[in-house]
């Protein structure tokens, strides 16, 4: 299993409509990109995110699935929105073995 984690900071001057559109576009990736097992995105409410305002979690089966996700046109479109609406991003990808 591969987890893809993204923390991002929405610009102070980003409109509420642009943020809603960004989050909606991110949520749509779950149904639009093959091999996405799970996806969630939301706004930080804890105040402990060191300036990041939102978090994104994506679970995929393999590193190849992650590469396909990153190269998918819908993901690339979301990255363009992220570039215009956010001021910073932190990405962590890791592979792990899950045994129930």
Q: Which pLDDT score, from 0 to 100, does residue 97 have? A: 77
pLDDT for 100 beyond 70:
no
Confidence of residue 99 (pLDDT cuts 50, 70, 90): low
Sorted by where each begins, the domain ranges of the chain are: 2-95
Q: Any idea which architecture 2-95 has in CATH?
A: 2-Layer Sandwich (3.30)
Q: What is the mean pLDDT of residues 32-59?
A: 97
pLDDT, position 67: 98
Amino acid 6: pLDDT: 98
pLDDT, tens digit, 9 for 90 and up, residues 51-60: 999 999 999 9
In which band, very low, low, confident or very high, does the pLDDT at 96 lie, cut at 50, 70 and 90? confident
Write down the pTM of the prediction: 0.92
- What value does the mean pLDDT take over residues 27-51? 96
Q: Which of 20, 41, 25 is nearest to 78 (CA)?
A: 25
Which is higher by pLDDT, 52 or 99?
A: 52
- Give the CB-side neighbour count of residue 98, counting CA atoms within 13 A: 10
Q: Where are the alpha helices (DSSP H) in the chain?
A: 16-32, 63-71, 73-85
Q: Is 100 exposed, middle or buried (0-12, 13-18, 19+ CB in 10 A)?
A: exposed
């Amino acid at each position: 299993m591969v987890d893809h984690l993204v923390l991002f900071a929405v610009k102070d001057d980003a409109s509420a409509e642009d943020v809603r559109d960004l989050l909606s576009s991110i949520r749509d990736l779950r149904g639009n990109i093959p091999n996405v097992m799970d996806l969630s995105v939301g706004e930080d409410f804890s105040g402990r995110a060191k300036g990041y305002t939102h978090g994104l979690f994506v679970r995929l089966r393999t590193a190849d699935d992650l590469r396909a996700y990153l190269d998918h046109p819908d993901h690339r479109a979301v990255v363009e929105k992220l570039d215009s609406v956010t001021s910073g991003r932190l990405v962590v990808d890791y592979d792990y073995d899950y045994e129930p």
